[in-house]
Amino acid sequence: MKIASTKEWLARATAVALTAALACVGLAGCTSPSSETAQQPAEQQTQEPAEQKAPETRTVTDMAGRTVEIPGTVESVATFGSVGVLNAFVECMGKGDLIANEMPANFTKNDKWAMQYKFAPQMKGEPVLETADGIDMEATMALNPDLCITMMEDMAQQLEEAGMTVIVLQWGDTEDVKTAVNLMGEVFGVEDRADDYNAYFDETVKKAADRTAKLSDDERLKVIYGDVESLTNPHVISEWWLTAAGGQSVTEEKHQKNSLEYTMEDLLAWQPQVIFSSNTDTATIYADANIASLPAIQDQRVYVVPTVAHVWGNRTVEQPLTVLWAMNKMYPELYTESELAEDIKYFYSHFFEYEMTDAEIDSIINYQ
């Protein structure tokens, strides 16, 4: 057998290597376009911003100082206790359609809170979650709202022990309404709306102060809020709005706790010139011989404080309107009824997203 020379062997090896190299180049040329195509979607995907999803849960601190984990998006709400107050906070944030429970029997026994069913009509016929004995826990658990709201810490504890998510609102001082609104803004993700309300609150109080600034002490009317038949004032917040509207509250020094009881001797000594009544029975008030000597009776200046979303004289997000309404009743020459009508219409349209009719506005201004 003939053995190849070294030169022949090298020539053959070189040819084989060259052929292999050319084959690799050819394969690379064939595969590179498909590789680029395969890579393009991955490159494009990394360049596009990821879609922002709402977190499944969030943490808020309520007004009792409790740290509460709430859903990322709250889609249903149940209110407990002072439901008129609480519903109004929810409605003011434009979220009245989330209220999932009917008002308890003590709110529906008459038509005093009828406007609640115009602000949140879906409440009608929904489960009632409270009885005279307290929370109906079975009904509450069956409803299973995303969030429960109350102003009572003992109620919050009961609901929490039953597995409910619950926050507490509190309102002691005047400024607490702004804190509560800020919390509601955070809960519902409408912080700008909360800021808007708080700015409106301050602007309205300033407007009343400016309108009444030139009144002397003698010109500022002596006023009282509450029921002069039962000799009670239901809420200390009245001391603030009576003064903010330009009046002199005759109960201011005596009123230290939330509610106030006084005597007939006190009332006759105070001699109020205006009575802002929580009692709608003005005929009985005017006919009461015991108080016939009061200037407010003699001058026919007894005015029933309106209830719309809630009682304007007590705690409510409608408090700026309480100030304006009281100012108009005391000093109509400084702030007219037509101005009041415009302000009422604006407030409920802007914050409650409800368009008041002229008849509804008139019934508020001249509430009976």
pLDDT at 259: 86
Write the pLDDT tens digit of every residue in 199-224. 999 999 999 999 999 999 999 999 99
Q: What pTM, to 2 d.p., does this model score?
A: 0.84
pLDDT exceeds 70 at position 23: no
pLDDT exceeds 50 at position 36: no
Dist CA 332 CA 344 (whole Å): 16
pLDDT at 362: 98
pLDDT at 256: 73
Write the pLDDT tens digit of every residue in 132-163. 999 999 999 999 999 999 999 999 999 999 99
**Helices assigned H by DSSP within 69-190:** 83-92, 105-108, 116-119, 137-143, 153-161, 176-188
pLDDT at 58: 95
Distances (CA, A) of 196 to 93, 202, 245, 345, 354: 10, 10, 22, 17, 17
pLDDT at 53: 62
Take residue 77 and report the two structure tokens written for it.
Answer: 């709400």
Strand partners, 248: 222
Tell me the pLDDT band of 50, cut-offs 50, 70 and 90.
Answer: low
pLDDT at 235: 84
Average pLDDT on 358-368 reads: 97
pLDDT exceeds 60 at position 31: no
Is 271 or 51 the better-scoring residue by pLDDT?
271
The CATH T-level fold of domain 215-365 is Rossmann fold (3.40.50)
Tell me the pLDDT band of 368, cut-offs 50, 70 and 90.
Answer: confident
Give percent of the chain with pLDDT exceeding 70.
85
Q: Which of 236, 279, 272 is nearest to 254 (CA)?
A: 236
Average pLDDT on 117-137 reads: 97
pLDDT at 157: 97
pLDDT exceeds 50 at position 234: yes
Radius of gyration of the chain (CA): 35
Take residue 165 and report the two structure tokens written for it.
Answer: 């998510």
Write the pLDDT tens digit of every residue in 315-329. 999 999 999 999 999
Q: What angle do CA 77, 81, 83 make, to 5 degrees?
A: 55
Q: What CATH code would you report for 57-191?
A: 3.40.50.1980
Average pLDDT on 156-183 reads: 94
Q: Amino acid identity, residue 350?
A: H
pLDDT exceeds 60 at position 99: yes
Highest mean pLDDT among 27-31, 104-108, 331-335: 331-335
Q: Is 233 helix (H, G, I), strand (E, B) or coil?
A: strand
pLDDT at 4: 42
pLDDT exceeds 50 at position 34: no
Average pLDDT, the chain: 88
Tell me the pLDDT band of 52, cut-offs 50, 70 and 90.
Answer: low
Write the pLDDT tens digit of every residue in 236-261. 889 999 999 999 999 988 877 778 99
Q: Amino acid identity, residue 106?
A: N
Least confident of 19-28, 80-89, 143-152, 302-311: 19-28
Domain boundaries, the chain: 57-191, 215-365
Average pLDDT on 77-103 reads: 98
Q: Which of 204, 203, 198, 176 is nearest to 325 (CA)?
A: 204
Average pLDDT on 53-81 reads: 94
pLDDT exceeds 60 at position 17: no
Q: Cβ-count burial of 96 within 10 angstroms (0-12 exposed, 13-18 middle, 19+ buried)?
A: buried
